[in-house]
Amino acid sequence: MLEIISLTLFVSGVALIIATIIGVPLGAVLALRQVMFKKIITLIIYTGMGLPPVVVGLAVYIFLSREGALGWLGWLFTPSAMITAQVIIALPIVIGLTTSAVENVNPELRLQIRSLGATPNQVMWTILSEARAGVVAAIVAAFGGIISEVGAVMLVGGNIEGSTRVLTTAIVLETRKGDFGLALALGGVLLTLTLVTNFFLLRLNKR
Amino acid sequence: MKRLFGLMIATVLLAACATPAPVPAPVPPPQKLRLATTTSTADSGLLDFILPDFQNKFNAKVDVIAVGTGQAIELGVKGDVDVVLVHARAQEDKFVADGNGLNRLDVMYNDFVLVGAKEDPAKVKDMTAAKDAFTAIFKASATFVSRGDNSGTHSKEKSVWAAAQITPGKEMSGYLSIGQGMGETLLFANEKKAYTLADRGTWLSQKSKLPNLIVVVGGETINDNKDKTLLNPYGVIPVNPAKHPGVNFDLATKFANWITSAETQKKIGEYGKDKFGQALFYPSTSK
């Protein structure tokens, strides 16, 4: 049980950190800089936010399987494969919501900072901190998306007991075994976990 | 009332777009039969092959809920289905003994095979008894994938381990319990080049997608299977109406009698011969 909970937190936590490190700066750049094909890129990212996790899982599975292009990594049915899939699911959510949060910051502010002699990077960080609430919401949404996701982690993780079994796949398994009580209890644990994590994430909002 | 109104609107709309057609003779709406069964009967295509006949004969519509045997039986215990068709004799007997089901009937059987990678790291190919092969796999610390989902196949696997006097689990490093269906488990074994126990029906229907695997114990057909403990009987059990007044016991009994009738039994024995060169299931009455 503890093993399942810690693996769930580990996989989704690492995936979230990677998606945040990549996604937040990308989202800010997309909002602040002159980017070519901005509309098309935004369209692709918004579509990515609706990407069915099981399709992501399928694609990752194909790449990581023995015959796949990345088969030599030996990642299939390991936590690494699960993290890979979850990063792909979380990235568009982080980028898309960060972009819209940054775009909503008063444009006058940007001019002001720039007129005070800030470098483009300094401008980006100041605006990002101004858009903090929206960025935190982006991270929270991404976390909710990946920790509750079952299709992709089942496919690429394989639900191996003591190795790649997480809360959602355990819930599917217990339901299939007919142990509805335990399945429901695991659902409660998952919900509690999300609640506690979100509590800490929201504290980032305060200075 | 609301539904009736909706139906009327739908009828008017349909009548408006369709070209005038003769009014069909009024047929009473089909009765619904909820059947909980194992993934093996559904995934193998057997039910799609035999069910239309039942639906026509009894003006019924069968809702198939294909899950693991554990969940199928639990659906019966809760009265969420009218009849169960499963393969795990011990669990079935308990289901009847607890008063949840009535009149269990033998329907058909097939057998289990032990499949593994062509390289056969534990050197078990052509062993006669599954339990000896399991012992060899254990001793070689080879990788073994378990369904781990209380399904009929999982129950059989546990009984073979018990016969070999081995308790698989954490102390056996190569033992992977993945809690998934037969199809997924076979794909997993193919990727990992691992051993697994499979019902022959699913194995035959998936074989073409499993290039790394071969049958190591159980032979190419059921007649070559020298280990009689690997036989896999299926039973049909209507849910007890005394316990769950909501179930359609009448139709469930008709279903049980129909699936064990000579005509349906013959069809069961024929299914898969053209596609796989051998039957996937053997009718119980032909024994």
CATH number for position B39: 3.40.190.10
pLDDT grade for B145, boundaries at 50, 70 and 90: very high
Question: Do the domain assignments include residue B74?
Answer: yes
Residue B19: is its pLDDT beyond 90? no
Report chain B's mean pLDDT, rounded to a whole number: 87
Q: What is the DSSP letter of B128?
A: S
A178 to B70: CB separation less than 8 angstroms, yes or no? yes
pLDDT grade for A168, boundaries at 50, 70 and 90: very high
Measured CB to CB, residues of chain B less than 8 Å from chain A are 67-68, 70-75, 77, 148-150, 170, 176-180, 188, 191-192, 212
Q: Which residue of B has its CA nearest to A176?
A: B71
Number of structural domains in chain A? 1
B188 to A177: CB separation less than 8 angstroms, yes or no? no
- Render the burial of A27-44: b for 16+ CB within 10 Å, e for the rest: bbbbbbeeeeeeeeebee
- Give the type of residue at A32: L
Residues 6 or more apart in contact with residue A161 via CB below 8 angstroms: B148, B176, B177, B178, B179
Identify the domain boundary among B207, B230, B253.
B230
Residues B192 and B272 reside in one and the same domain? no
For chain B, percent of residues with pLDDT exceeding 70: 90
Residue B121: is its pLDDT beyond 90? yes
Question: Which of A175, A199, A204 is closest to A187 using CA atoms?
Answer: A175
Residue B3: is its pLDDT beyond 80? no
Compare B128 and B14 and report the one with higher pLDDT: B128
HSE at residue A123, side-chain half, CA atoms within 13 A, is 21
Q: Where are the alpha helices (DSSP H) in A50-179?
A: 53-64, 79-103, 107-115, 120-130, 132-147, 151-157, 167-177
Residue A163 C-alpha, separation from nearest chain B C-alpha, in angstroms: 9
Residues B145 and B214 reside in one and the same domain? yes
Residues 6 or more apart in contact with residue A50 via CB below 8 angstroms: none
Question: Do the domain assignments include residue B13?
Answer: no
Residues B219 and B262 reside in one and the same domain? no
Query: Given B72, B74, B148, which is nearest A161 (Cβ)?
Result: B148
User: Can you tell me the distance from the alpha carbon of B121 to that of B141, in angstroms, rounded to the nearest whole number?
Assistant: 9
Residues A108 and A36: beta-carbon distance below 8 Å:
no
State mean pLDDT over A164-173: 93
Mutation for A interface: B172, B178, B185, most A CBs within 10 A? B178
Q: How large is the angle between the packed helices A120-130 and A132-147, nearest 10 degrees? A: 70
User: Can you tell me the distance from the alpha carbon of A174 to that of A161, in angstroms, rounded to the nearest whole number?
Assistant: 12
DSSP H or E stretch at residue B267: helix B262-270
Residues B135 and B192 reside in one and the same domain? yes
The residue whose two tokens read 């057909």 is: B221
Which of A87-101, A148-162, B35-49, B80-94 has the lowest average pLDDT? B35-49
* B215: helix, strand or coil: strand
Residues B237 and B165 reside in one and the same domain? no
Residue B244: is its pLDDT beyond 80? yes
Query: Given B73, B74, B170, which is nearest A162 (Cβ)?
Result: B170
Angle at B139 between CA B138 and CA B140, to 5 degrees: 95
pLDDT for res B71: 84
User: Can you tell me the distance from the alpha carbon of B115 to that of B70, in angstroms, rounded to the nearest whole number?
Assistant: 23
Identify the domain boundary among B230, B254, B274.
B230
Query: Given B170, B179, B192, which is nearest A77 (Cβ)?
Result: B192
Residues B145 and B187: beta-carbon distance below 8 Å:
no
pLDDT for res A53: 94
pLDDT for res B11: 52
pLDDT for res A115: 87
Residue B37: is its pLDDT beyond 60? yes
Please report the residues numbered 131 through 170 in chain A whose beta carbons come closer than 8 angstroms to any beta carbon of chain B: 154, 158-163, 165, 169-170
User: Can you tell me the distance from the alpha carbon of B35 to that of B252, in angstroms, rounded to the nearest whole number?
Assistant: 9
B148 to A77: CB separation less than 8 angstroms, yes or no? no
Residue B287: is its pLDDT beyond 50? no
Query: Given A66, A163, A177, which is nearest B191 (Cβ)?
Result: A66
For chain B, percent of residues with pLDDT exceeding 90: 54
Residue A14 C-alpha, separation from nearest chain B C-alpha, in angstroms: 23
Residues B81 and B239: beta-carbon distance below 8 Å:
yes
Residues B77 and B215 reside in one and the same domain? no
Compare B224 and A11 and report the one with higher pLDDT: A11
Residue B275: is its pLDDT beyond 80? yes
Residues B220 and B249 reside in one and the same domain? no
Compare B239 and B152 and report the one with higher pLDDT: B239
The residue whose two tokens read 């990063």 is: A87
Query: Given B67, B72, B188, which is nearest A158 (Cβ)?
Result: B188
State mean pLDDT over B96-101: 94
Angle at A159 between CA B217 and CA B169, to 5 degrees: 55
* B37: helix, strand or coil: strand
Strand-pair partners of B101: B239
Q: Give the range of the structural domain holding residue B128, as residue numbers without chain letter.
A: 111-230
Counting every residue written for chain A, the total comes to 207
Q: Report how many Cβ contacts below 8 Å link chain A to chain B.
A: 60
Question: Do the domain assignments include residue B183?
Answer: yes
Identify the domain boundary among B200, B230, B260.
B230
Residues B96 and B118 reside in one and the same domain? no
pLDDT for res A54: 93
Question: Do the domain assignments include residue B220?
Answer: yes
B176 to A160: CB separation less than 8 angstroms, yes or no? yes
Residues B72 and B126 reside in one and the same domain? no
Residue B208 C-alpha, separation from nearest chain A C-alpha, in angstroms: 15
User: Can you tell me the distance from the alpha carbon of B201 to that of B101, in angstroms, rounded to the nearest whole number?
Assistant: 26
Number of structural domains in chain B? 2
Query: Given A65, A159, A179, which is nearest B180 (Cβ)?
Result: A159
Residues B105 and B243 reside in one and the same domain? yes
A178 to B212: CB separation less than 8 angstroms, yes or no? no
Q: Please state, in angstroms and as integers, the Cα–Cα distance from residue A122 to each residue in A108, A135, A138, following that order.
A: 16, 17, 21
Tokens representing A92 are 């568009």
Tokens representing B224 are 């070559």
A76 to B148: CB separation less than 8 angstroms, yes or no? no
pLDDT for res A121: 85
Question: Do the domain assignments include residue B17?
Answer: no
Largest CA distance in chain B: 74
Residues B72 and B38: beta-carbon distance below 8 Å:
yes
Residues A158 and B188: beta-carbon distance below 8 Å:
yes
CATH number for position A134: 1.10.3720.10
Q: Give the range of the structural domain holding residue A64, as residue numbers without chain letter.
A: 2-203
Q: What are phi and psi of B38, to 5 degrees?
A: -90, 160
Read off the pTM: 0.77
Q: Is A71 exposed, middle or buried (0-12, 13-18, 19+ CB in 10 A)?
A: middle
Question: Do the domain assignments include residue B223?
Answer: yes
Residues of B in contact with A165 (CB under 8 A): 179
pLDDT grade for A93, boundaries at 50, 70 and 90: very high
Residues B38 and B130 reside in one and the same domain? no
pLDDT for res A135: 94
Residues of B in contact with A175 (CB under 8 A): 71
Q: pLDDT tens digit string along B41-56?
A: 887 788 989 999 999 9
Would an 8 Å CB–CB cutoff place A42 in contact with chain B?
Answer: no
Residues B103 and B116 reside in one and the same domain? no
